[in-house]
Amino acid sequence: MKPYERKVFYYETDKMGIMHHSNYIRIFEESRVFYLQQAGMPFEEIEAKGVLMPVLSVECEYKTPLRFDDTFAVHLKIVKFNGTTLEVDYKVINKDTGALCAVGHSSHCFTNEDLRPLRTKNRYPDIYKVFADCNGIDINGFDKIN
C-alpha cells in the first residue's frame, strides 16, 4: 500500500499561508478513501452494500505547518479492528523536507443505512477481510516515521 500524496492547495491555507487546521481532518478522510481504493474495496462499493462507516471521534496534533504548494504524504495504520469498530492512526509528512507535520487518530463504526451498528465478519466477509488483513500491520512505513 502506498501513502496518500498530494500538494497543499491555495484555498486550504489561511492568511499566514499555512494549511488551515481543519483541512488535516479532510486529508485523513482522503487517505482512508485512497486506502480502500488500493485494497480493492472502494467506499462506493461498501456503501452500495448498505454499509456506512461514520466517524465516532477524530483528533489531530499539529507538529510542523504545511504551506501552499508543499507536497505531503499521509501514512495510515489500522490500529484496532474487531468487525464492528475501526481505529486508524495517521502521520502527515512533508515530502519536501521530511518533517512530521501532524499525527492523528480516528475511530469509526460500521452501521446499516439506519445507523444501526452491524458486524461485518459474517454478513460482509469481503469488507471484513479488507480491514482484518491490515489490522496492526505497518502498511506503508508508518512505524519508521518519528
Domain boundaries, the chain: 4-139
Q: What is the pLDDT of residue 135?
A: 73
* One-letter amino acid for residue 119 of the chain: R
Q: What is the pLDDT of residue 144?
A: 76
Residues 6+ apart with CB under 8 A from 123: none
* CA–CA dist 104, 131 (Å, integer): 19
Cβ count within 10 A of residue 45: 15
Q: What is the pLDDT of residue 25?
A: 97
Q: What is the pLDDT of residue 125?
A: 93
Q: Show the cell assigned to 131.
A: 480491514
Helices (H), 39-118: 43-48
* CA–CA dist 7, 10 (Å, integer): 9
> What are the residue numbers of the active site?
14
Q: 4-139 has which CATH code?
A: 3.10.129.10
Q: What is the pLDDT of residue 50?
A: 96
Q: What is the pLDDT of residue 138?
A: 65
- Mean pLDDT per 10-residue section of the chain, whose length is 146 residues: 95 95 97 93 95 97 97 95 95 97 98 95 92 75 73
Q: Show the cell assigned to 76.
A: 495510515
Burial per residue of 101-123, b for 16 or more beta-carbon CB atoms within 10 angstroms, e otherwise:
bbbbbbbbebbeeeeeeeebeee
Q: What is the pLDDT of residue 143?
A: 76
Q: What is the pLDDT of residue 58?
A: 98
Q: What is the pLDDT of residue 137?
A: 67
* One-letter amino acid for residue 58 of the chain: V
Q: Show the cell assigned to 113.
A: 443505512
